[in-house]
Amino acid sequence: MNCRPGCGACCIAISISSPIPGMPRGKPAGVPCVQLRDDMECAIFGRPERPACCSGLRPSDEMCGGDRSHAMTWLARLEQATLPAAENTPHRPP
């Protein structure tokens, strides 16, 4: 499967903890990567400076679904499910 043109969900929905050119501390979930172009394509796709976590994420029917909205929702759920336990627990007042 190939990426859906104009999607960019994986460049927005998930957090990236490794450095990205232009984002030396990575990026938080829900924030577009600075390497995401206006056409929703990655400016460093296939280049050595692209983080390994980005190159390792491959499109799939399960993740991408039928549209960009599905991909954003699926990836947001993945992000939530993979947070460290302390960050994944709802805050409860003392």
- pLDDT tens-digit map of 38-73: 999 999 999 999 999 998 999 999 999 999 999 999
Examine residue 92 and state whether it is found in any structural domain, yes or no.
no
Examine residue 91 and state whether it is found in any structural domain, yes or no.
no
Residue 1 pLDDT:
85
pLDDT cut 70: percent of the chain above it = 89
Q: Distance (Å, rounded) from C-alpha 69 to C-alpha 88?
A: 23
Examine residue 30 and state whether it is found in any structural domain, yes or no.
yes
- The more confidently predicted of residues 1 and 21 is 21
User: In this model, does residue 26 exceed pLDDT 90?
Assistant: yes
Where in the sequence is the domain holding 20, given as residue range(s)?
9-82
Q: Distance (Å, rounded) from C-alpha 31 to C-alpha 9?
A: 10
User: In this model, does residue 90 exceed pLDDT 90?
Assistant: no
User: In this model, does residue 94 exceed pLDDT 60?
Assistant: no
Examine residue 2 and state whether it is found in any structural domain, yes or no.
no
Which residues lie closer than 8 Å to 54 by C-beta, 6 or more apart?
A: 10, 11, 16, 42
Tell whether pTM > 0.85.
no
Q: Is 53 helix (H, G, I), strand (E, B) or coil?
A: helix
